[in-house]
């Protein structure tokens, strides 16, 4: 079961790495809030095609947990992606990649502060190794570059995104016992609704941009892979091995983002890319092997009344 969870989390982070690249490619083809809204509008339509019978079956439980399900969509889906797509308009890829690596650390911290979740020295060491790997990728092999970083508006937006996704991950411990289609449908619908005011705000500033052909391709990708596939796999991963351990895999996102940039944008693959990937995967392995033996392997679901 744990091997399956690892595969789910790796594929999820691969999709999210593609989402980071999509956000960069979207500049000039579709505006950030337009992309956020259309992404979830299409995702809701796709989910509806396969979920209506199951939604009716799960409605009694979903109704009791509706505020929580809607909160998942507003925080983990809308807020995170709106901030990420906006951040790439103002800050560098180096800054964004490094800042995303703060998500696992914040998950560890929040779990310890609020739930006293045990953390071993091996997990701390593993996290440090993965962080070095992420920093090496972000700095394109020159760690001295990190000393020259300057915070700007985009960095502030990414900090909001980091907090949002960390809270979403923590809140998954209370997810209701419903089918995965239901667990996707209600948050996605909430994401669509909560992204609409952001789109109206963007339009009010005359900054909204309807997608061109390339923009529609990017929108379709984000609607299918980061929005549906990755979210489903991440939920399954958190359910199987817990938020602390699953959160560590998020460090693969900037690594995959770099590798996908090589394939899609035409950047040159260099040796530090492979070293970074080895460090990140090695850190995850160390944290997994050295996790506290007494820690619960699953995220508890909220009780069904």
- Measured CA to CA, the distance from residue 36 to residue 16 in angstroms comes to 14
Is 61 within 8 Å of 132 (Cβ atoms)? no
User: What DSSP character marks residue 297?
Assistant: S
Q: Rounded to two decimals, what is the model's pTM? A: 0.77
Is 202 within 8 Å of 33 (Cβ atoms)? yes
pLDDT value of residue 160:
92
Q: How far apart are the first and last CA of the chain?
A: 28
Which residues lie below 8 Å from residue 213, measured CB to CB, with a gap of 6+?
none
pLDDT value of residue 281:
77
Is 10 within 8 Å of 249 (Cβ atoms)? yes
Q: Which residue carries 């052909």 as its tokens?
A: 213
Q: Residue 45's CB: how many other CB atoms inside 10 A?
A: 12
3-state helix, strand, coil in the chain (%, to 5): 80, 0, 20
Structure tokens belonging to residue 195: 């992204």
Q: Where are the domains of the chain?
A: 2-289
- Please provide the DSSP assignment of 212-247 as one string: -HHHHHHHHHHHHIIIIIHHHHHHHHHHHH-HHHHH
Is 235 within 8 Å of 11 (Cβ atoms)? no
- R_g of the chain, CA atoms, integer Å: 19
pLDDT value of residue 186:
94
- Please provide the DSSP assignment of 122-150 as one string: HHHHHHHHHHHHHHHHHTTT-GGGGGG--
pLDDT value of residue 198:
95
**Burial track 148-185 (b if 16+ CB lie within 10 A, e otherwise):** ebeeeebbebbbbbbbbbbbbbbebbebbebeebbbbb
Nearest C-alpha neighbor of 84 from the set 165, 150, 30: 165
CA-angle at 130, arms to 114 and 125, nearest 5°: 65
Nearest C-alpha neighbor of 233 from the set 17, 2, 10, 47: 10
Residues 108-167: tens digit of each pLDDT = 778 888 887 777 888 888 878 877 877 777 676 777 766 766 657 887 888 899 899 899
Which residues lie below 8 Å from residue 260, measured CB to CB, with a gap of 6+?
17, 18, 21
Which residues lie below 8 Å from residue 137, measured CB to CB, with a gap of 6+?
97, 254, 255, 258, 272, 273, 276
User: Which parts of the chain register pLDDT below 50?
Assistant: 295-305
- Measured CA to CA, the distance from residue 88 to residue 154 in angstroms comes to 7
pLDDT value of residue 285:
78
């Amino acid at each position: 079961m744990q091997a399956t969870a690892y595969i789910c989390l790796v594929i999820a982070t691969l999709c999210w790495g593609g989402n980071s690249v999509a956000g960069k490619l979207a500049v000039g083809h579709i505006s950030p809030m337009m992309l956020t809204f259309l992404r979830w509008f299409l995702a809701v339509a796709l989910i509806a095609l396969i979920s209506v019978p199951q939604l009716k079956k799960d409605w009694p439980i979903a109704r009791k947990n509706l505020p929580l399900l809607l909160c998942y969509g507003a925080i983990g889906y809308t807020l995170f992606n709106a901030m990420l797509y906006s951040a790439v308009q103002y800050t560098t890829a180096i800054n964004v990649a490094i800042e995303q690596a703060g998500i696992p650390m914040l998950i560890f911290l929040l779990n310890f502060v609020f739930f006293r979740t045990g953390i071993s020295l091996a997990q701390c060491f593993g996290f440090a190794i993965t962080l070095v790997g992420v920093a090496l990728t972000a700095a394109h092999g020159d760690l001295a570059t990190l000393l020259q970083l300057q915070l700007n508006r985009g960095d502030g937006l990414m900090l909001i995104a980091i907090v949002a996704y960390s809270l979403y991950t923590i809140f998954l411990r209370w997810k209701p016992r419903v089918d995965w289609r239901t667990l996707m449908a209600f948050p996605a619908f909430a994401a669509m609704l909560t992204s609409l005011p952001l789109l109206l705000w963007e339009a009010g500033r005359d900054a909204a941009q309807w997608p061109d052909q390339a923009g529609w391709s990017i929108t379709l990708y984000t609607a299918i892979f980061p929005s549906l596939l990755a979210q489903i796999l991440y939920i399954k991963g958190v359910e199987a091995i817990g938020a602390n351990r699953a959160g560590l895999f998020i460090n693969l996102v900037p690594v995959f983002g770099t590798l996908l940039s090589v394939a899609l944008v035409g950047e040159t693959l260099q040796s530090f890319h492979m070293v970074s990937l080895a460090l990140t995967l090695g850190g995850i392995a160390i944290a997994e092997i050295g996790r506290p033996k007494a820690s619960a392997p699953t995220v508890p679901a909220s009780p069904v009344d």
